[in-house]
Structure 1
Amino acid sequence: MTTPHRITVVVGNTGERSRTKVLAQAIADALSAALPVTLQVLEIAKLAPHIGVANAPQDLSPEGAAALRAIETADLVVAVSPVYKGSYSGLFKHLFDLLSPDALVGRPVLLAANGGSDRHALVVDHQLRPLFAFFRALTVPSAVYAAASDFDGYVLDSEALRARIDEAVLQARLLLAARTPGQSLLREAA
């Protein structure tokens, strides 16, 4: 039997109702359909009281510390953020600021974001990708960006977006196939 891959989905939404959550769920569903997985979803809106006042990992509540462990031990991290003023949300960044600089070395990360219009699409490559490059993570080459026009209210309503999700999931699968669950490609190669 194949060991399921541990996937941690970090959703940068700051409210309960969110297109970011819908996008994250669509990616999680596509990953679940493509691979044997164990999913853990971390929502910034729910984590805020546990991470917002922490200046260092040792300042975290048990819930905040568990969130960091879920990211650090994932075989694949899916990072999904809404676009706020041309970048990811502040609490989303704060959560990753609490990680050790070596926590994601060689770890595959699938990047996704959503914003009001297509003019924010470059946030993935100009904001998210450099963040994970700092951690020396292996970002999936195809990222996913969704504009408001890709949704009907809070329902994903775009075949083009579904195709982008499928492409990114295929690339994530290829990165995961090159490693065994729990293994970091770069750490094992050294």
Structure 2
Amino acid sequence: MPTLKLVGLSGNITAPSKTRAFVASAAVLAAERLHAEAEVIEVNDFGDQLGRARSLADLDAAGQALIARIVGADALIVATPIYKASYPGLFKHLIDLLDPLSLIGKPVLIAAVGGGERHALAVEHQLRPLFGFFEAHTLPTAVHISDKDFSDGVLTAPAAIARLARAVAQFDLHFPLSLRSAEAAA
């Protein structure tokens, strides 16, 4: 059986980014748990073409390959920074380019990084409905991380790390240990 593929999608548009650092940490944790291959894709990886694209056909071959890896993944970790109670427009534009049928049934861990706790509900009010539209299976535990949860760009807050671990464990609902063990042995 082939190895599970996990893609972490970071909705940031700047580098370095706490959102990317979070997604990378989450992807490593999930990949270890699921015996999966993981990669992180950032909105920035699409370059200037993303903002001009009106459809997937407007993306160059590299951009279309990124989209193919996102929709072809067995599971997603999607995190975005939160600005003024919502995700950035370019992140939403990327999601708008996806075929509405492309994420049906796909398990998705949703997360956000905000400047403070006032942004915590954006995960539930912005990301859960967005992926609900695609009929994706958002994991029950969403994760909100704020600036205070990082030290030198690394997620260090014990409560945040514990919540992330709890959310990652919910991938087990979609990938039982027996399936993961068989794939790891193959």
TM surpasses 0.5: yes
Q: How far is the alpha carbon of 1:104 from its aligned partner?
A: 0.4
Aligned residues of 1:40 and 1:70 also touching (Cα < 8 A): no
Higher mean displacement: 11-20 or 39-48: 39-48
Aligned residues of 1:76 and 1:176 also touching (Cα < 8 A): no
What residue in structure 1 maps to residue 16 of structure 2?
17
CA offsets 1:2-52 (integer angstroms, 9 cap, x no match): 632111111011111111011111101111221211112111122232322
Q: 2:99 is paired with a residue of what secondary structure?
A: coil
Q: Which runs of 4+ in 1 moved over 4 A?
A: none
For residues 117 and 141 of structure 1, the distance between their equivalents in structure 2, rounded to whole angstroms, comes to: 22
RMSD, aligned CA = 1.8
- State yes or no: 1:57 paired with 2:56: yes
For residues 66 and 75 of structure 1, the distance between their equivalents in structure 2, rounded to whole angstroms, comes to: 16
Q: How far is the alpha carbon of 1:67 from its aligned partner?
A: 1.5
- Aligned ranges 1:19-168 → 2 under 5 Å: 19-168=18-167
With structure 1 as the length reference, what TM-score do the two structures score? Answer: 0.89
For residues 39 and 29 of structure 1, the distance between their equivalents in structure 2, rounded to whole angstroms, comes to: 7
Aligned residues of 1:13 and 1:43 also touching (Cα < 8 A): yes
With structure 2 as the length reference, what TM-score do the two structures score? Answer: 0.91
Q: 2:13 is paired with a residue of what secondary structure?
A: coil
What residue in structure 2 maps to residue 171 of structure 1?
170
For residues 13 and 49 of structure 2, the distance between their equivalents in structure 1, rounded to whole angstroms, comes to: 14
Q: 2:46 is paired with a residue of what secondary structure?
A: helix
For residues 6 and 119 of structure 2, the distance between their equivalents in structure 1, rounded to whole angstroms, comes to: 26
Q: 1:79 is paired with a residue of what secondary structure?
A: strand
Give the counterpart letter for 1:25 in structure 2: A
